[in-house]
Structure 1
């Protein structure tokens, strides 16, 4: 810790070199001698060996040609604003194959030609039936439909989102 009332202490002077000049010269001469001896040992000695000539391979030239194709122009789409409609009226229609499947599960012996039938009346934009827990579209708020298995679900508002819930 320095005291602000005292003058700073100057750094200690460098001690004089204790090694005499004659010993420093010997170190330099010894290092130069070792370097020269190493160079003589490493240098190649010609023991009657013939020099090897490298064969040069012919050069290969590659030419690339690039043709540019014109980029397609911008796509112009027209946006039409849909008018708001009252809540949709949804009807569920059971097909004959669905009735046959339900009667088959009751223990009847008849078999239907189709393995699974979609009984949902409202489908997603990709064409699939909704299931419970999925988000509803704005046009489906309050609507009732069925899952792919036939369980009724309703689009209700809960937890800050419109979702399909079991009815």
Structure 2
């Protein structure tokens, strides 16, 4: 009894058979081409007509711009603070006058907000003010220092 072929051998034999059939088919296809080439092919004539139209557009006229510089003075802000009379003794403070009640003090904030107001402790600082020192409206010194991930005005 003959031994059965394994799967690999069967696949190899099938591939060789397909190759042989393909080769036989190619040799037959060449015979049909001789008959097809004997008949004359119709001639194709293509005529192309192109029309170009150009429209001229005038160049844009120059634009005349007149610039006026107007100087407007910025707001001048003067803050007046009236201190209330204190009863009893004072325990040390961070600034201000040590005089009695009813005195007027005009603050001299060297750094002001974009709106023209004095900064106070706890407000955010501008990038240009990092590390700067100024006074708030009551005359106490404040410094722009980093607080966590942001910059704020704190008492100096």
Give TM class, smaller chain: 0.3 to 0.5
TM-score for the superposition, normalised by structure 1 = 0.33
TM-score for the superposition, normalised by structure 2 = 0.35
